[in-house]
Every structure is written in structure tokens, then in C-alpha cells.
Amino acid sequence: MTPTDADHALQALDEALALVSRDPRAGEPSGGRHRAAGWPQAREAAARAGSGIRARTHRVPLAEALVEVLAQPLEALTDLPSFDSSAMDGWAVAGPGPWTIRPGGGGLAGCERPEPLADGEAVRIATGARIPADTTAVIRSEHSRESGTQLHAVRPVLTGQDIRPRGQECRSGDLLLPAGSLVTPAVLGLAAAAGYDELTTRPRPRVEILVLGDELLTEGRPHDGLIRDALSPMLGPWLTRLGAEVIATRRLGDDPAGAKALLAAVTDSEADLVITTGGTASGPVDHVHPVLSEAGAELLVDGVAVRPGHPMLLARLGDRTDGRHLVGLPGNPLAAVSGLLTLAEPLLRALAGRRQRPRYTVPVQGEVPGHPYDTRLVPVLLTDEHAVPLRYNGPAMLRGVAAADGLAVVPPHGARDGQELEILDLPWASGGCFT
């Protein structure tokens, strides 16, 4: 079977399942069950949930503030530069040339204030060194010629050339960056230059991961109906890349003891966000809904019209301002990835005080089959011109997403060749965390 044939076969299966499980006239499952949230609405709900939380702040050394968000504006503590300095290696000169070279050493960066220059005098100077008083200009070494004790310029000299005046970049008290700015390596450099040793930031959201299931192996090859736990190795690094602080990853069984442990974790976890995997459907050992009900949680999203991953959910734990939430991911690996990008990422960005990622589209190469009612998220490879859909995009498969740059958002009924599709970047493909 060719890739296209396989995709169409999967589409036909999805259509058949959709027709028997959902009334297309009502747009919801038959049997009186709730209607799944639309994919865009689910993402918006996740962002809103995180935006209404009372912000935590802390003051940390510069090195610990990376990828956190400024809780206070970054204001200059000094003029930058804090003194007139040379922009080039060369000569500081006073008045018109030729100039008499001052005997002795010149000005180096970090040295004390140099002696003022007399009219017609020149002194060697290094990049970043303090400019002597009464300096007219700096002449670059390559633009000068020495003749005994005389210095000559080989091109016209303009007053003030190659001098960085005090306060050229900012004055003390100037606003450098507003609160809410992401602390990048460049921001760390700017803060250090402006005189900061510490920054007041919003800490990274704390996440606890609970992997549910009795069928999961932690090592070795799958055998006898048991499968390897693919989620524990993946979710922690993925969430860290999204800017979270993963405080624990635990495995819980599907038995009553596992359900009891899940309730305790949901009730007592110190994490801002609890992530569960599996158990979000309505099977005999799917404990997430009953546990959330017993814990008094508020379901904000209970199912999303997206494939893979439609049984995902978002719940609020506690009151509206204490910041505790739970995202329930499906147990199939690619479906769990779908849940991460649909619910966890927008929630984490909001909890961290970050703006949501800008949206962009790319034309798709070739036709992409769609679900009759739901959005599809399909792994794609990004070229200079197109998003190229990848095979192995079933709910239980990771082979496609492991080779992908992002997931294409395919509307119901599919996309035609060349159609612009929104792309969800994968955190490593987009150059780092929360960019």
C-alpha cells in the first residue's frame, strides 16, 4: 500500500467511526454525552485559565533568571556607556593634524582617567578605553600613518568620529525592557551591562507528571502484552523545553491503589500543573474523571474535537486564583503530543506570564486527508517553501513526529495541495524554549 493509499484508508476508518459515534446534525456524540470543544476554543480556554492566576515572583541571580519573565521593568541603573569611550583601536587626537605623539603608554580599557590632551597632541587608545578630556576624534589605526613623532591621517577626520559618548545607549533610569519580557541570553547581557546582579522574575511553572497504566515497561523490549513506557522519557524534557520546571515524574497503576494515589497526587501536589497520561476516556480502569469529581475539580475542557488526542481534558484544581490545574493527556504517544500542544503549552505560557506564540501558516505539499468533523494535527517537515506531511502519524506512533519540525493544523475534510495551514512548532525545531 502506498503512503497516499494508507492515508486514505485511515481517513475512511475515521469517517466510519465518526458516523457511528456522532450525530452529524447535532455535531456531538449520540447518547446524550457532552460535546467536545473545538480545537481553537480549547487552546483559548487553556490560555485564559493560566492568565487569571495570581502571579508568583522571586528575586534570583542573573544566571538563574534565564527563560523566566521579568516581573518588574528593567531600568538602567547607570548611563551606558558610563563614560566617553573609544569605539576603535587607534589614536585619540585633539585639534587639527598632523599631531605630535605623546610619549609613553596609551589608553587601555579598564585604566584610570587619562590625562587631558593638549591641542595638536595624539595618544594611542584601545577599544573601550576612556577618552582623554579635550579629545576631538579617534582615528582608526588603519586610517593613520606615523612619521617619527608625528601622526598623519590618511583620510579626512570628522569631529567626534569613533567616540562613544556617555549615555549613547541609555541614561540612568531609562526603561530598557517592560515587565513581561522573556529573559533571553541577550537580556542577561543587557542587565549585567546596566548594573544588575539579580532580577525579579516570575518563576517557571512547576509540573508533576503522572503516567498511568499497568501495561508499561520501564526497560527492555515489549513482550507478553506489555509495552514500553514511551511517555516518561519524552514528557519531562518536552515540558522543560516549554519552560516548565518538572518537579517529579511518577508511574501509577490502574488498580484501586493507583486511583487512590492519583487522588492524593491531585489533592496534595505542590505543582502548578499536574499532567496525567491515559485514563481520560470512559473505560473500566479510566480513573481520571472519577478522581477529578471526588477532588471537587472544575472541568474547563472535557474532550477536544481534534485527532489524534480527542479525549484530552483540562481541569482547575482549587480556586480560580491559586494557579493549580490538571491536563489529562491520552495514553497514545502522538495523541499525548497533541494534548501537550493543544492544552499544556498555552496554559504554561500564560502561567509563566508569556504572550502566546505568534501564529503563522505554510503551504502544504500535496493533499492531506481530513477528519469529517474534527481538526487533525499532522507531523510535517518544513522546507524553504512547503510543509511536507510525514507518514506514521497514527495516535500510537512517534516515528513521524520524531522526524518532524512541527504539526500542521488540518481543518475538517482535509487540505488541498498548496493550501496554507497553521503550523505548531516543536520546541526544539523552533530554536528553544517558548520562542
For residues 204 and 66, give the distance between their C-alpha atoms in angstroms, rounded to a whole number.
Answer: 10
Please tell me the pTM assigned to this model: 0.80
Least confident of 51-65, 89-103, 275-289: 275-289
Name the 3-class secondary structure at 393.
coil
The pLDDT, as a whole number, for residue 404 is 94
Mean pLDDT of the chain: 86
For residues 324 and 318, give the distance between their C-alpha atoms in angstroms, rounded to a whole number.
Answer: 7
Residue range 295-317, pLDDT digits in tens: 999 999 999 999 999 999 999 99
Within 10 angstroms of residue 89's Cβ, the number of other Cβ atoms is 17
Taking only Cα atoms into account, the Rg of the chain, rounded to an integer number of angstroms, comes to 30
Within 10 angstroms of residue 238's Cβ, the number of other Cβ atoms is 21
Helix (H) or strand (E) holding 62: none
Q: Are 172 and 166 contacting, i.e. CB atoms less than 8 angstroms apart? A: no
Q: Say whether pLDDT at 19 is over 80.
A: no
Residue range 246-263, pLDDT digits in tens: 999 888 877 788 788 889
Query: Once rounded to an integer, what is the mean pLDDT over residues 1-8?
Result: 47
Phi-psi region of 137 (alpha: psi -120 to 50; beta: other; left: phi over 0): beta
Q: What percent of the chain clears pLDDT 70, i.e. is strictly above it?
A: 86
Interacting residues of 292 by C-beta distance below 8 A, sequence separation 6+: 266, 299, 315, 326
Among candidates 390, 395, 419, 413, which has minimal Cα distance to 24?
Answer: 413
Within 10 angstroms of residue 54's Cβ, the number of other Cβ atoms is 9
For residues 404 and 116, give the distance between their C-alpha atoms in angstroms, rounded to a whole number.
Answer: 62
Query: Once rounded to an integer, what is the mean pLDDT over residues 46-64?
Result: 92
- Whether omega for the bond prior to residue 358 falls within 30 degrees of 0, making it cis, is no
Exposure string for 117-131, b = 16+ CB within 10 A, e = fewer: beeebbbbbbebbbb
Q: How many residues does the chain have?
A: 435
Q: What percent of the chain clears pLDDT 90, i.e. is strictly above it?
A: 64
The letter for the amino acid at 323 is: G
Integer CA distances (angstroms), 307 to 11, 38, 413, in order = 11, 11, 12
Strands 198-202 and 69-70: antiparallel
Least confident of 91-105, 157-171, 270-284, 346-360: 270-284
Query: Once rounded to an integer, what is the mean pLDDT over residues 48-62?
Result: 92
Query: Once rounded to an integer, what is the mean pLDDT over residues 79-96?
Result: 93
Query: Once rounded to an integer, what is the mean pLDDT over residues 375-386?
Result: 96
